[in-house]
Structure 1
Amino acid sequence: MAFDGKLLANLSVLAAVVESGNFARAADALGLTASGVSRAISRMEARLGIRLLHRTTRSITLTDEGERFYAEVRPLLVGIEEAASHAGGASLSVRGRLRVNVDPLFSRHVLAPRLPEFMARHSDLEIELITRDDLGDIIGEGVDVAVRFGFPPSSSLVARQLLETRIITVASPAYLKKHGHPCTPADIASHTCIQFRDSQTRRPFDWEFHKGRKVVPVTTHGPLLVSDAGTLMSVCIAGGGLAQMMAIGVVQDHLARKKLVQVLPDWADERFPLYAFYPSRHHPAAKVRSFIDFCLEILA
């Protein structure tokens, strides 16, 4: 049977009449006129083919058929009220299941070490963490929020910038000892460069060097193309060539421990953003707002 919205509306009128005891008080509670309430009850009686109420000048009471009918539908109305209240609470309470689509670099080196803090704060929340290279169809896949590096795609998703990180060029001390330090962006073209694949275009990222407003693109060469930031870093540390990567997470530790050396630090003004994406600007659930706020906190 098709869902009858008018029947549900008339049921709420019946419940108001029964609980208030007369049409006038039910009309006040519902924001209707007394005649409007009376017509709603009449329509329901015609639909069901039974008389629901005894009407007198002094009182309104349920008929025997009305008693049986109301006894059956009242729990359903209470269930609807509870479901609406529970759903409304999602905008205030951090609970339920949170599905998050996360960039692998951010997940491994930034989020994961701090995630137990977030879970401890919200004991009624279950988190499903999906680590992947691309954004995908977060609405179709039922994802609540995604965190990705790169500029927002043209879509209906809400995008909130969390961070801008520098793009730096690095190499291992062993590589630089063997092949020498490049002194200008043009020198990069003669070095072995580890290429990193753009998950959106499926092609290697272009190399650029930024100093203030000056931008110098460089055509780079190298036999290795990777799609994982962790692999890029490991190959670079092992002496596989120069690499461009985001100055976030464990790369800072490798620089401090001299496992990596920054190349052309005066040409490192390029910025790359990190965004949170979620499906709707209207009434985002508290669990989504809390997760985004937590990401901002750990990135501060």
Structure 2
Amino acid sequence: MPTDGRLLGNLSVLVSVVETGNFARAADALGLSPSGVSRAVSRLEAKLGVRVLHRTTRSVTLTEEGERLYAQVGPLLAGIEDAALSAAGDAHAVRGRLRVSVDPMFSSQVLAPRIATFLARHPQLELEIVSRDELGDLISDGIDVAVRFGEPQSSSLIGRKLLDTRVLTVASPAYLAAHGRPAKPAELVRHACLQFRDPVTRRPFAWEFHRQGKVVTVDTQGPLTLTDSATMYALCTAGAGVAQVLALIVRDALDDGRLVELFPGWAEETFPLYAYYPSRRNAPPRVRAFVDFCVELATAAA
């Protein structure tokens, strides 16, 4: 069956409008006029017999039919682009637009200080970083790759474990000077412990301490419950209380003395860091390059 080139072209225009946010930016990216972009979308809607975009003077958003179409077509067009690059002998070129969704703490404490190195390696790459706690729907959100702590929750994605990082119990020198240093985990019942709410159960995480296969749970209390790991980190370093954090995130703070690890002998619990990307036979070179870079960062910070 012959391919309808005009249909593919119009679909590409739609994807560009969604990814850039409006007709003007899509026109710049495609080398067209805004009116040309609008006509292409109108031709697509006429061909399909449904409206795919809601248009207002301030924004352009997908209709319900448009969301379904974009979720199916986006990965296919990306695959066509990758196949074309491969056929042209450019299968290893890292270029184009890469949209990544990253855990906020990994983004601020590990990725951001070193991202210039990644961009210097790949000058033809345009990178957009979305920092958020929830993984979300990568396809409908237009995300190429995501990095998150915790075990995989979705079987529809390709997940690559980057590392397991230890769970540490820490406090600031100022807090310890004011309240004393607990000698063992059980003594935390007399301390202000920063509680972090599990986004899945909506309840605070239990405080566990692991040593040589033995697990001790302590019923900690505290006046502060957080849903944002960056805020908990800031409060802990400011002396507001004791916190359980991931070693990968606080390595620099421990090295320079901003935080103190309380129970090194009870820190054998680990938490995984994963990279996720939509299921495809061959991940684009830009996705592979970013995941490899995250592996490099995680290994260095472990």
Superposition pairs for residues 103-114 of structure 1, below 5 Å? 103-114=103-114
1:142 aligns with 2:115: no
Q: CA deviation at 1:255?
A: 2.1
Superposition pairs for residues 41-80 of structure 1, below 5 Å? none
Where does residue 118 of structure 2 map in the other structure?
A: 118
**Secondary structure, in 3 states, of the residue corresponding to 2:113?**
coil
Q: Which has the larger radius of gyration?
A: 1
Q: How many Å separate the matches in 2 of 1:160 and 1:293?
A: 10
Contact residue 91 and residue 283 of structure 1 kept, 8 A? no
Where does residue 52 of structure 1 map in the other structure?
A: none
Contact residue 91 and residue 284 of structure 1 kept, 8 A? no
Relative to 1, partners in 2 of residues 1:243 and 1:276: Cα closer, same or farther, differing over 3 Å? same
Q: CA deviation at 1:260?
A: 1.8
Q: How many Å separate the matches in 1 of 2:149 and 2:100?
A: 14
Q: TM-score, with normalisation over the residues of structure 2?
A: 0.68
1:294 aligns with 2:293: yes
- Post-superposition CA distance 1:102-152 (Å, at most 9, x none): 001111111111111111221221111100011011121121100001111
**Secondary structure, in 3 states, of the residue corresponding to 1:290?**
helix
Q: How many Å separate the matches in 1 of 2:103 and 2:171?
A: 23
Where does residue 160 of structure 1 map in the other structure?
A: 160
Q: CA deviation at 1:88?
A: 5.3
Where does residue 222 of structure 2 map in the other structure?
A: 222
**Secondary structure, in 3 states, of the residue corresponding to 2:108?**
helix
Paired residues in the alignment total 223
Relative to 1, partners in 2 of residues 1:82 and 1:109: Cα closer, same or farther, differing over 3 Å? closer
1:264 aligns with 2:283: no
- Post-superposition CA distance 1:31-79 (Å, at most 9, x none): xxxxxxxxxxxxxxxxxxxxxxxxxxxxxxxxxxxxxxxxxxxxxxxxx
Contact residue 197 and residue 227 of structure 1 kept, 8 A? yes
Relative to 1, partners in 2 of residues 1:91 and 1:144: Cα closer, same or farther, differing over 3 Å? farther
Relative to 1, partners in 2 of residues 1:230 and 1:83: Cα closer, same or farther, differing over 3 Å? closer
Q: CA deviation at 1:84?
A: 5.9
What is the one-letter code of the residue matched to 1:125?
L
Q: How many Å separate the matches in 2 of 1:99 and 1:245?
A: 27
**Secondary structure, in 3 states, of the residue corresponding to 1:248?**
helix
**Secondary structure, in 3 states, of the residue corresponding to 1:85?**
helix
What is the one-letter code of the residue matched to 1:278?
Y
Relative to 1, partners in 2 of residues 1:82 and 1:156: Cα closer, same or farther, differing over 3 Å? closer
Q: CA deviation at 1:229?
A: 2.5
Contact residue 207 and residue 219 of structure 2 kept, 8 A? yes
Q: How many Å separate the matches in 2 of 1:197 and 1:259?
A: 24
What is the one-letter code of the residue matched to 2:268?
D
- Post-superposition CA distance 1:166-191 (Å, at most 9, x none): 11101122322332222222222222
**Secondary structure, in 3 states, of the residue corresponding to 1:182?**
coil
Relative to 1, partners in 2 of residues 1:88 and 1:211: Cα closer, same or farther, differing over 3 Å? farther
For structure 1, the 5+ residue unaligned runs are: 9-80
Where does residue 56 of structure 1 map in the other structure?
A: none
Q: CA deviation at 1:6?
A: 5.2
User: Over aligned residues, Cα RMSD in angstroms?
Assistant: 2.3
**Secondary structure, in 3 states, of the residue corresponding to 1:198?**
coil
Q: CA deviation at 1:85?
A: 2.4
Q: CA deviation at 1:86?
A: 4.0
Contact residue 209 and residue 216 of structure 2 kept, 8 A? yes
Q: How many Å separate the matches in 1 of 2:81 and 2:206?
A: 55
Relative to 1, partners in 2 of residues 1:86 and 1:223: Cα closer, same or farther, differing over 3 Å? same
Q: Is the deviation greater in 140-149 or in 254-263?
A: 254-263
For structure 2, the 5+ residue unaligned runs are: 5-79
Identity among equivalent pairs (%): 54
Where does residue 45 of structure 1 map in the other structure?
A: none
Q: TM-score, with normalisation over the residues of structure 1?
A: 0.68
Q: CA deviation at 1:279?
A: 0.8
Contact residue 206 and residue 219 of structure 2 kept, 8 A? yes
Q: How many Å separate the matches in 1 of 2:81 and 2:167?
A: 51
Q: Is the deviation greater in 196-205 or in 126-135?
A: 196-205
